[in-house]
Amino acid sequence: MTTGLIPGGQTPDPRPTGGLPQQRHELVGQAALHIDNRSRSSVITARAAASFEPVGRSVATARSFVRDTLQGWGFADIVDDAVVLTSELVTNAVVHAGTSADVLCLRSDEGVRIEVADRYPEREIPLQGQAVNMGNLDREGGRGLQLCAALAGRWGVDYTPTHKLVWFQLDLPERPVGTRSAGPSLPADLLPLADGRVRVAVVQIDRTCAITSWNEDAEELFGYAAEQVIGKPLTDLAAWPHTPGTGTGIAEALQLSRWEGSYGIRAANGRVTSVYASHLRVRDTGGEPSTVCLLVRDHERAVLQTPLRVPASDTTTSSDGQSADPFEVFIGSPAPDDLDGLLQRTVERARDMLDGDSAFLLLATDDETELEVRASTGLPSARQRFARVPVEAGPGRYGSARMPAVHDDLAAVPGAVPLLNGTGMRSVVTVPLKVEGRLTGSLGVAAEAPGRYSNEEALRLQFAADRIALAVESARLGELERLRRGSLSFLVEASDLLAGTLDRDQTLALMAQMTVPTLATWCAVYTIADQASEPYLSYVLHEDEELIDGIKSLLSKIQPPDPVPTPGARVWSAPGEAAHQAALRSSMRSLGLSGGPTHQVASGIGPTLATASAVGGEIVVLPLVARNRVIGMLTLGKPTDEHFRQEILELAEDLSRRAALALDNARLYSERTAISQSLQRSLLPPELPEIDGVEVEVIYRAAGEGNEVGGDFYDVFPIRDGAYGFAIGDVCGTGPNAAAVTGLARHALRLLAREGLSGPAVLERLNSAILDEGARSRFLTLLYGELWPQEDGSARLKVVCAGHPLPLRLRQDGTVEPAAEPQPLLGVMEDLELYEQTVTLDPGDVLLCVTDGVTERREGTRMLGDDGLADVLTTCTGLTAGAVAARIMRAVERFASDAPSDDMAILAMRVPGLHTD
């Protein structure tokens, strides 16, 4: 269906609007010409046009289009007649004629004219006259024109070569000036309850949903001064009742031409005030749209709520005086697309049909043992929504939801209907919703006066329930399927996020952020370090950040929940009780009163009333079990008197299992990382010795994520007076086996060198020790040398290079040359013939030693190599040892854009001479 609202005096735009392929708009212009030619005395003030495909569902959509259009124009008195006539004429077009239908609504000062056109002009029309029998009411053909003759003030048929157009006009009923509707006078005890002064907040919202106007009553109701909220989005203050499976939110509601319903506003004190709202979309003289919102307290909704309920007798008689279906409103109106909308409309129509003060609808769980409150009107919905009651509450007819029941006076049977406790309702009638003999729900209507209902009302309500039960069950199954798909998508996304980190704190934050506000209003995560430890409050999150500190303070002062490994959610009432007791004590102290609850709450909690409201609803605890051990608890909470849906609890249980495993993995990873880092530090010297006459600088960069021990190592250590040993090496591989060889090499070098052995002898004995490791052995490249500073400012070195990248010597004139020759690496052969080479570093010379992570740095097919390293070193003339090492590292890092894939160690030694450069 494609619709368009056109201001009076303008023809519709004939351009396509992206709707159905069969739609055409030219006819609307033709119809406008017809009305202009025939009734020039009438001024057309508004038009609404729509086209419908030749399918069965278009009839219901057309009814909805006409109903919404006329209600938007304020013509509620003629809506029913217009809907009936439109339904018949569109049915003739799309069902019987098999063509698309064009519907045009024209508003004038006299009434409403509706035109229905189809593309089947050759059909004959039964002309009404004395000699013509129009047939009985059961006949399929001709009934639409009969209804036009009976209900419309004027009607007619026009033909064109391509279209047939049937039109009818409904005149507005004459009313006394200033009267739109009225109700009978009532005794004072039957009037709606309200505060001493009813405050109506008037809030205006611009096209971006930002507040532009905020009256004094809004300040009194919600505690914000106008300057605090003007310019802010209303969505920041609105507590919209989000439910999985429904798509309409506050932002969407503010864009509708009209909207009426309940939601919450977060007041300045942090509490959510339930309000009943009436929204009207308007535009200013410049054409800019805005929304005017009228808000009252939810229990004062009678001030704004429309349409007014009609007496029950009026619903059983049609406009032509004939008896009609008492629940026709359920069948005549198209059902909303979402389950919650269908259920809300059902309870409102049921209440109106029996002239009740409230109504409620409960849906059965899959096992038919419990009923869950899904919709209500006239009751505190925030308190009742998703509350669960047993199907079999007691013996006898009135104790089971499977049979219709009438309660004359609930005051005589306290607790007979727990849902109505404390609501002021006295009489109630309930009937079951059944599909193929299976209980799917329960529908009830209640009144504040006793004795209002009898078996006759029960039969009428049961008939209505039978008419709507199948539609409700179909919508419920559709919602359940959407919820399951949404749950699967949610769990997949949650698993990906949890698998993407091994950081414990980040895992805790992800758990909370995925839970709030999707599954709960607030949550807390307790962790347990080991079996002997008490649960520790690790993380708290609330959708309102200002309440986090209060909840955290409250939970930290009360006993944590017991770490029970039993799967599933269990109710935890301690936080709500403690918060309410502390809030009551605080309120009494502020009033100068003494006493209060005798149960002592730990001092220092100090929760505000907002904190008490935040944790006052249902609170459940789910165990976090990983590897057959309880490692924590996930606590979920709702605000005051709200309940969790069973589907949400099942989804939370699935999430808790995944989160528990991710949290345990993060714990294990953290432990492994700490062990690896500690081991890595033990394999490197704690500090470098000070060597007179020689500058020494080392840079070490590990390539791993911190959870693996690298194979590179270095060492500089004193051997005896005036002599120092230095080494830089690389063990094949990483992990524990490589770490074992690394530790063996570094400590063996120190011990053997201090025994007075020469360099070749030290490496030969180290080679034997490595081979003795057997299967754990790893080959090792090692550059080992001994250094003696000289009195003339030079330094003498003896070097053995066993399979390691050759050390490079940088002279003062900028030339670079290898300072040793390659020899066999260690850990491969038993008999090694190693020799040492003597090198003298003159003042200003630099000796550079690196591991292969430096020379094998790659960018695609390019590799830095020994030549590239030498080229960089030639630019380091005159630099200190630290500057040389830093320049080499910068050059290596910039050589490639990717992060290094191997550990890197750089050892630079420089002989500055007798005088520092």
Is the four-CA dihedral 642, 643, 647, 650 of positive or negative sign?
positive
CA-wise closest residue to 457 among 468, 446, 467: 446
Alpha-carbon distance 727 to 714, whole Å? 6
**Which residue's structure tokens are 């249980």?**
653
Helix (H), strand (E), coil (C) string for 426-493: CEEEEEEEEECCEEEEEEEEEECCCCCCCHHHHHHHHHHHHHHHHHHHHHHHHHHHHHHHHHHHHHHH
Q: How many CB atoms lie within 10 A of CB 7?
A: 9
Strand, helix or coil at 220? helix
Q: DSSP labels for 63-79?
A: HHHHHHHHHHHT-GGGH
What was the pLDDT predicted at 25?
A: 35
Residues in the chain with pLDDT < 50? 1-41, 124-140, 243-247, 308-333, 382-383, 394-398, 595-607, 916-917
Residue type, 871: D
Read off the DSSP letter of residue 291: E
Alpha-carbon distance 647 to 476, whole Å? 12
Radius of gyration of the chain, Cα coordinates, nearest whole angstrom: 42
Q: How many CB atoms lie within 10 A of CB 76?
A: 15
Q: Could you tell me if 733 and 778 are in contact, meaning their C-beta atoms sit under 8 angstroms apart?
A: yes
Model pLDDT for residues 377-405, shown as the tens digit of each residue:
887 654 466 666 777 654 433 456 778 88
**Beta strands, E only, 473-580:** 522-527, 536-542, 570-571
- From residue 398, alpha-carbon distances to 434, 549, 638 in Å are 17, 47, 32
Q: How many CB atoms lie within 10 A of CB 903?
A: 24
Q: Could you tell me if 620 and 571 are in contact, meaning their C-beta atoms sit under 8 angstroms apart?
A: yes
Are β-strands 795-802 and 837-841 bridged in parallel, bridged antiparallel, or unpaired? antiparallel
- From residue 908, alpha-carbon distances to 719, 850, 916 in Å are 19, 9, 17
Model pLDDT for residues 313-327, shown as the tens digit of each residue:
444 444 444 444 433
Q: How many CB atoms lie within 10 A of CB 636?
A: 25
List Cβ neighbours of 571 (8 Å cut-off, separation of 6 or more): 618, 619, 620, 621
- From residue 487, alpha-carbon distances to 333, 337, 618 in Å are 32, 20, 22
Alpha-carbon distance 30 to 37, whole Å? 11
Q: How many CB atoms lie within 10 A of CB 675?
A: 12
CA torsion angle 84 90 96 100 (round to 10): -170
Alpha-carbon distance 378 to 392, whole Å? 25
Q: Could you tell me if 865 and 855 are in contact, meaning their C-beta atoms sit under 8 angstroms apart?
A: yes
CA-wise closest residue to 460 among 571, 294, 316: 316
What was the pLDDT predicted at 55?
A: 79
Strand, helix or coil at 524? strand
What was the pLDDT predicted at 840?
A: 92
Residue type, 62: A
What was the pLDDT predicted at 917?
A: 43
User: What's the predicted TM-score (pTM) here?
Assistant: 0.44
Are β-strands 427-435 and 211-214 bridged in parallel, bridged antiparallel, or unpaired? unpaired
